[in-house]
A and B are shown apart, each in its own frame.
Chain A
Amino acid sequence: MEDYERELYGVEDDFDSQFAAELEVLAELEGTAALSPSRSPRPAPTVGRPRLTFEEAIAGGDAATDCSPGGPPGSGSGGARKRQLTADIQADTFLPPTPRIKRSKLDAARRLNFRPDEMEELLPPDSPTRGITPPPSPEVPAELCDNGSLDTGADVGLTGASPAARNPVLRRPPVLEDYINVTSTGGDRAFLVLRDEPVGTAVQGSFLDMRRRGRGQLDLLGVSFASLKEEVDSERRRQLLEEAQQLSDTLCSLRAEEEEEEAQPTGAPEEEPAPHQDASQHCLWVDEFAPRRYTELLSDDFTNRCLLKWLKLWDPVVFGRERPARKPRPSVELAPSGKEATASGKWKSHEQVLEEMLEAELDPSGRPRQKVALLCGPPGLGKTTLAHVIARHAGYCVVEMNASDDRSPEAFRTHIEAATQMESVLGTSGRPNCLVIDEIDGAPTAAINVLLSVLDRRGPQEAESGAPAMPAGGGRRRRAEGGPLMRPVICICNDQFAPSLRQLKPQALLLQFPPTLPSRLTQRLQEICLRQGVQAGPGALAALCEKTDNDIRACINALQFLHGRGRRTLSVQAVQTTRVGLKDQRKGLFSVWQEVFQLPRAQRRHMGQDLTLPTPTLLLGDGHTGLGSLATASQQFYHILHAAASTGEHEKVVQGLFDNFLRLRLRDSSLGTVCEALDWLAFDDLLGRAAHHGQNFQLLRYPPFLPPAFHLLFATSHVPRIAYPSSQQEAQSRRSRTQNLIETLVSGITPAARSRAAPQALVLDTLCLLLDILAPKLRPVSTQLYSAREKQQLASLVGTMLAYSLTYRQARTPDGQYVYRLEPNVEEVCRFPELPARKPLTYQAKQLLAREIELEKMRRAEAAARAGHSPQVDKGPPGGTGEKGVQPPAPCSHKQRLECVLKSTALEEQPERDFFGRVVIRRAAAVSSANTAPEPDSAERRMGTAVGRSDVWFRFKEGVSNAVRRSVYVRDLL
């Protein structure tokens, strides 16, 4: 109730100021001056109140009866009417007739306040307060129907003071106007007609909002106004702080002296918490605690320094500063991280290479050799932050573009050119741009090519158009010879092996981010916890780091999440049990296999105490192991389970395990673990088959436990050498090849042999021995010199090979030699690769065999042909002679008939073509032909009749001709 009151007071203030004039009028009219309109009716005694409504009802009644909306409410007739009406409806009419004016005033006041929520005001009060009440139904219409008259009454007193009052309230939805409906708590519904009133609605709207919120906490704004205000204030403060920060940064960079801990940086963090406490729900801690200065960076010092050095190499071109002498350089560069540098001592070779690269001379145009720096590393290491901080530190204005958003080459080009060749005029105090391209591995190759072409541009022809204006005067001369790209470009990627980056990498300064040191991360997390009031032990924070793989962003987000959930203390247990901070990132297959086969380092530390623990017994479940080790084991179990499930490719994982587990160093000499593992694999296969054959997918919940089982069986501290599984694919392709081979073989076998050689029997029983049969000893001499037995042997060999449709075919080996190969090559099917090869036939023998087989084939084909055509061949001559000789008396066949016809026509024609061939005879012939008109085609006619006049016809029947089936009884045969 307190805040409600306060709320109201706040409202009143506003209201008072806005409606000062009206309130004044009200105060004059009414005795109760300056009473807040919202409160005045509320605490008013119920007696006055119902009377009021009652009067309204009465007024409604008379308005309804006399139907004169324009009539002044003060008229006597109205009063008289009203009195009658009230007498009709109710017993007590104790109202004095005089307070007419006052009623109207009260009315006005009432309307002013309660118009918006009048159902609440109107309906409930009269039912409970008065024993005798007009039923709510007449009451409301009374209010509703006569609103016009009431309004006029109100208007007498105060014109326009209550604009809302003009809204008629209707019982039924109005037909023509817009309306809103209002339902009272009692369930009655009324309809408010909407009218636009430019002054009134706004005021009333805000008023309404305030009122509503005050009563029912209906936050229409979403956030309370007060908090909004605070937010704006804090925003303003933060902006100021940031400007101060930038100013200090520029100052620092301009001075080019290293800023160690000074007054402002300590001041800034101290100030910041205050606004951030309020804004903490709006701002991610990651942004809030992002490092703003070089010294706050968490990432690897060497990387930071390299990038900074590289950026400084641009100084001569960009700022026109001469390269500082070698002497002050180390002090400048190494000062911020001096203690780390001394601590780490000497650098590795890779780092030395990098150093040399950075120490190298600039190219002729005064730019560093590498025009681009490529930062790569897994997410959450602070690459983007590093780029921003360092660029700002070196005095650049950071222009960031996200390559995975602007993917098209055009957008890429415009962005790059805008960033590298222009300079923002406003706000950045003339700093040169530094382009930061984030997530460049998401860009397509075309876009990268655009970037490359920009990098490669050089030469004077480009220089006039492309070179940016240099801030320093010294740059003008250099511009003529320099290339157009005069601004540093920093690219950031997660995967440096993305194919699109292949072109870019040789031209870029490749900086790989090592994982953040857990100690530094823990320290930073501790600071954050301190500032945010989270109690967290270093153990818990270390656990969090470990869980997130030292991902800074994930750590801080997890912290904020836990904080936001109301946990103020953080324990190791909580970190390990919550699912917060787990990356949704898929793990690669290799990392999963590695995890399965290798004990994690942390666990190795734990296992130091209980190295005696035999993991197989743990798996079997009868091991008496310490509680601690059991806990770690189960934790490990779940870890592996999760990791294996996260790949989403169970089959591949299992195949990899299967292919690799025998290559590991086995601790168990009795191969018990191997048997166990094989059992698991068989079980997995069974489950998979049952699940997929029978659509029994509930079984699929069991296979994921195979990797943990393998882990428990085989995990060692050695680094396993893992090969990508290929055995499955090899086996499958080989199987299909063999199957094809056997199919071709079987299809070629002669039917007699095939009837006894089903494919399986062929593979299992026949082929292996057949190969032995096919390799007899043949003397390497000409077949002419073979003995009869040898000849028979050869013949049988050829017969066998033909029966299985095997032959030798010449082929050329890759090294240019010719060999004869068995075809189809059955040897592949039935010979185990590791077994010693059978002694093969010599090349000559194979050649001989091949030739013999060909010959035999030809011989057989010829024999078959002869057998098939023998009737024709044999009958040909005798049939022909027989027909000609014997048949003439018999009814002549077509041929003979046709021959006769032809002969006769020939005979007929022959006389015409006499030896002399004279015209006379031809004329005679012509005459004769003219005489006998149908004659000329007599030959054809006769041929036609000869063909068509046969006594036998053939009628073709379509379809399948099944053999005629007749039942024959044995008694008929006897």
Chain B
Amino acid sequence: MVQIVVSSAGAGGLAEWVLMELQGEIEARYSTGLAGNLLGDLHYTTEGIPVLIVGHHILYGKIIHLEKPFAVLVKHTPGEQDCDELGGESGTRYLVTALIKNKILFKTRPKPIITNVPKKV
């Protein structure tokens, strides 16, 4: 029997995150990887439609309410020193750090942003 302890840090103080779902891949221009790079801009139109600008693409999405909300768990593996404190439990704990109730789904084909349009073709 495996017991996994999930606990939330503080009552009511949970942050609410937003899940973003993209249909496609995000690639880095250089081979340095994605880490540390800015993905793009997320805006909302006046009608509340989310707009994401990545590179020279602009993506229109929509907000979807998740029927089953997600919880963001952070795994805490007790170190040797903690083991004593917890009193011999196997000790892996999960801490709920955030809840996700909505997600933004971008599933339509992105539109290119064209800046330089020749005046005369």
A916 located at the interface, meaning its Cβ lies under 8 Å from any Cβ of chain B in the complex: no
B10 located at the interface, meaning its Cβ lies under 8 Å from any Cβ of chain A in the complex: no
Select from chain B the residue with minimum beta-carbon distance to A874: B16
Select from chain A the residue with minimum beta-carbon distance to B59: A954
Q: What residues of A have a CB within 8 angstroms of the CB of B56 in the complex?
A: 947-948, 950
Q: What residues of A have a CB within 8 angstroms of the CB of B59 in the complex?
A: 954
Of the residues A950, A951, A957, contact of B23 by C-beta under 8 Å: A957
A925-957 contact mask (Cβ, 8 Å, vs B): 1 or 0: 000000000000100110110011011111111
Are B92 and A871 closer than 8 Å at their CB atoms? no
Give complex CA distance A90, B65 in Å. 124
Q: What residues of B have a CB within 8 angstroms of the CB of A970 in the complex?
A: 2
B59-79 contact mask (Cβ, 8 Å, vs A): 1 or 0: 100010100000000010000
The segment from A437-445, A519-527, A890-898, A903-911 found at the interface with B is A890-898
Q: What residues of A have a CB within 8 angstroms of the CB of B40 in the complex?
A: 893-894, 950, 952, 954
Are B29 and A953 closer than 8 Å at their CB atoms? yes
Select from chain A the residue with minimum beta-carbon distance to B64: A868
B21 located at the interface, meaning its Cβ lies under 8 Å from any Cβ of chain A in the complex: yes
Select from chain B the residue with minimum beta-carbon distance to A867: B65
A974 located at the interface, meaning its Cβ lies under 8 Å from any Cβ of chain B in the complex: yes
A17 located at the interface, meaning its Cβ lies under 8 Å from any Cβ of chain B in the complex: no
Of the residues A871, A944, A955, A961, contact of B63 by C-beta under 8 Å: A871
Are B41 and A895 closer than 8 Å at their CB atoms? yes
Select from chain B the residue with minimum beta-carbon distance to A890: B38
Select from chain B the residue with minimum beta-carbon distance to A941: B116
Given known contacts A893-B41, A940-B116, A974 and B92 CB-to-CB distance under 8 angstroms: yes
A872 located at the interface, meaning its Cβ lies under 8 Å from any Cβ of chain B in the complex: yes
Minimum Cβ distance to chain B for residue A870 (Å): 8
B18 located at the interface, meaning its Cβ lies under 8 Å from any Cβ of chain A in the complex: yes
Are A943 and B115 closer than 8 Å at their CB atoms? yes
A876 located at the interface, meaning its Cβ lies under 8 Å from any Cβ of chain B in the complex: yes
Question: Which bracket fits the contact residues of B?
Answer: 35 or more
Give the contacts of B1-48 with A (CB-CB under 8 A). Answer: 2, 4, 16, 18, 21-30, 34, 37-41, 43-44, 48
Q: What residues of B have a CB within 8 angstroms of the CB of A940 in the complex?
A: 115-116
Give complex CA distance A893, B110 in Å. 18
A869 located at the interface, meaning its Cβ lies under 8 Å from any Cβ of chain B in the complex: yes
Give complex CA distance A645, B43 in Å. 79
Are A869 and B63 closer than 8 Å at their CB atoms? yes
Are A973 and B92 closer than 8 Å at their CB atoms? yes
B113 located at the interface, meaning its Cβ lies under 8 Å from any Cβ of chain A in the complex: yes
Give complex CA distance A869, B23 in Å. 22
A701-713 contact mask (Cβ, 8 Å, vs B): 1 or 0: 0000000000000
Minimum Cβ distance to chain A for residue B29 (Å): 5
Select from chain A the residue with minimum beta-carbon distance to B65: A868
A958 located at the interface, meaning its Cβ lies under 8 Å from any Cβ of chain B in the complex: yes
Given known contacts A868-B65, A871-B63, A944 and B116 CB-to-CB distance under 8 angstroms: yes
Are B29 and A947 closer than 8 Å at their CB atoms? no
Of the residues A871, A872, A947, A974, contact of B113 by C-beta under 8 Å: A947
Of the residues A867, A951, A973, A974, contact of B30 by C-beta under 8 Å: A951
Select from chain A the residue with minimum beta-carbon distance to B50: A872
Give complex CA distance A947, B37 in Å. 15
B95 located at the interface, meaning its Cβ lies under 8 Å from any Cβ of chain A in the complex: no
Are B2 and A954 closer than 8 Å at their CB atoms? no
Give complex CA distance A950, B53 in Å. 10
Select from chain A the residue with minimum beta-carbon distance to B117: A940
Are A950 and B115 closer than 8 Å at their CB atoms? no
Given known contacts A951-B29, A961-B21, A891 and B38 CB-to-CB distance under 8 angstroms: yes
Minimum Cβ distance to chain A for residue B119 (Å): 10
B90-121 contact mask (Cβ, 8 Å, vs A): 1 or 0: 10100000000010000101100101100000
Q: What residues of A have a CB within 8 angstroms of the CB of B41 in the complex?
A: 893-895
Are B53 and A894 closer than 8 Å at their CB atoms? yes
Q: What residues of B have a CB within 8 angstroms of the CB of A869 in the complex?
A: 48, 63
Minimum Cβ distance to chain B for residue A352 (Å): 88
Minimum Cβ distance to chain A for residue B52 (Å): 8
A866-888 contact mask (Cβ, 8 Å, vs B): 1 or 0: 01110110001000000000000
Given known contacts A868-B65, A876-B44, A940-B116, A952 and B27 CB-to-CB distance under 8 angstroms: yes
Give complex CA distance A937, B63 in Å. 38
Minimum Cβ distance to chain A for residue B39 (Å): 6
Are A952 and B109 closer than 8 Å at their CB atoms? no
Of the residues B23, B39, B116, contact of A952 by C-beta under 8 Å: B39
Given known contacts A894-B41, A894-B53, A947-B56, A957 and B116 CB-to-CB distance under 8 angstroms: no
- Can you list 28 A-B pairs with a CB-CB distance of less than 8 A? A867-B65, A871-B63, A876-B44, A891-B38, A894-B40, A947-B55, A947-B113, A947-B115, A948-B115, A950-B38, A950-B55, A951-B37, A952-B29, A952-B55, A953-B28, A953-B54, A953-B55, A955-B25, A955-B27, A956-B24, A956-B57, A956-B110, A957-B24, A958-B109, A961-B21, A961-B107, A974-B90, A974-B92
Nearest first, the 3 A-B pairs at minimum CB distance are A944-B115, A954-B54, A956-B24
- Residues of B in contact with A (beta carbons under 8 Å apart): 2, 4, 16, 18, 21-30, 34, 37-41, 43-44, 48, 50, 53-57, 59, 63, 65, 75, 90, 92, 102, 107, 109-110, 113, 115-116
- Residues of A in contact with B (beta carbons under 8 Å apart): 867-869, 871-872, 876, 890-891, 893-895, 937, 940-941, 943-944, 947-948, 950-958, 961, 970, 973-974
